[in-house]
């Protein structure tokens, strides 16, 4: 066996798959849900998929995987930073993974032309750096220059992840900013999950500000 120390529990349940998956994850107090995207082509196909529905309603992070991973690991994790308060929740999960797997967190950001937005993003970046330093998590920061990364943050995130052969992209399930919301058909999370051919995507539903995720007992 490849992972002889892994404990596997099997259950047979009845009901709508996305509801059953979320219920069992809650009952089992799982850390995350891991699902395949079945190679969905086109946002319309993915939007109606079980994975998409699980992502929408799950209170646990959902890791969506498209390609088969022959050597699953979390050495390099891509973390886009935006101006929202809920970005902190991604940082908390990045700290957990970084500490457990000795990961390097690649903090990426796009500034745009709005001075107010730039100040907010830089403030969030400074906060992220402080948290990673406090917890001893390795990280690098990358400003995605428009000349090298001319698209919106979703496509640029995937491009950067492919360039560094990232093991995971971490996103919230809402649009990362107004620019993204205007350009995407459907949610930001669905677009990134659908377009990320090589890199698994961890989708985190935002909790009310001030409420942080608590660790569970495993994966489902």
**Cross-strand bridge partners of residue 201:** 64, 169
Task: Give the CATH fold of the 17-204 domain.
Answer: Rossmann fold (3.40.50)
pLDDT reported for residue 130? 95
Higher pLDDT, 126 or 45: 126
* Nearest-angstrom CA–CA distance, 69 and 37: 13
Q: Position of tokens 């491009």?
A: 159
User: For residue range 81-128, what is the model confidence (pLDDT) as tens digits?
Assistant: 876 666 778 899 999 999 999 999 999 988 777 788 788 888 888 999
Q: Where are the domains positioned within the chain?
A: 17-204
**Cross-strand bridge partners of residue 33:** 62
User: For residue range 166-219, what is the model confidence (pLDDT) as tens digits?
Assistant: 999 999 876 444 444 433 333 566 678 888 888 999 998 877 554 333 344 444
How much of the chain exceeds pLDDT 70, in percent? Answer: 77
Q: Position of tokens 């998409």?
A: 52
pLDDT value at 147 more than 90 = no
Structure pTM?
0.82
Q: Within 13 Å of residue 45, how many CA atoms lie on the same side as its CB?
A: 9
């Amino acid at each position: 066996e490849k992972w002889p120390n892994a404990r596997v529990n099997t259950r047979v349940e009845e009901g709508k798959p996305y509801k059953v998956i979320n219920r069992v994850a809650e009952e089992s107090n799982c850390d995350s849900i891991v699902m395949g995207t079945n190679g969905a082509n086109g946002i319309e196909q993915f939007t109606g998929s079980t994975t998409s529905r699980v992502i929408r309603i799950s209170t646990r992070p959902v890791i969506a995987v498209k390609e088969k991973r022959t050597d699953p690991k979390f050495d390099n994790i891509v973390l886009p930073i935006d101006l929202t308060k809920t970005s902190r929740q991604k940082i908390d999960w990045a700290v957990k993974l970084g500490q457990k797997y000795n990961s390097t967190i690649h903090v990426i950001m796009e500034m745009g032309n709005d001075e107010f937005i730039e100040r907010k993003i830089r403030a969030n970046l400074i906060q992220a750096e402080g948290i990673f330093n406090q917890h001893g998590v390795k990280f690098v920061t990358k400003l995605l220059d428009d000349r090298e990364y001319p698209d919106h943050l979703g496509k640029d995130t995937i491009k950067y992840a492919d360039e560094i052969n990232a093991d995971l992209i971490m996103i919230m399930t809402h649009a990362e900013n107004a620019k993204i919301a205007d350009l995407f058909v459907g949610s930001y999370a669905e677009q990134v999950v659908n377009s990320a051919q090589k890199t698994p995507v961890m989708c985190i539903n935002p909790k009310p500000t001030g409420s942080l995720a608590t660790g569970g007992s495993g994966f489902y």
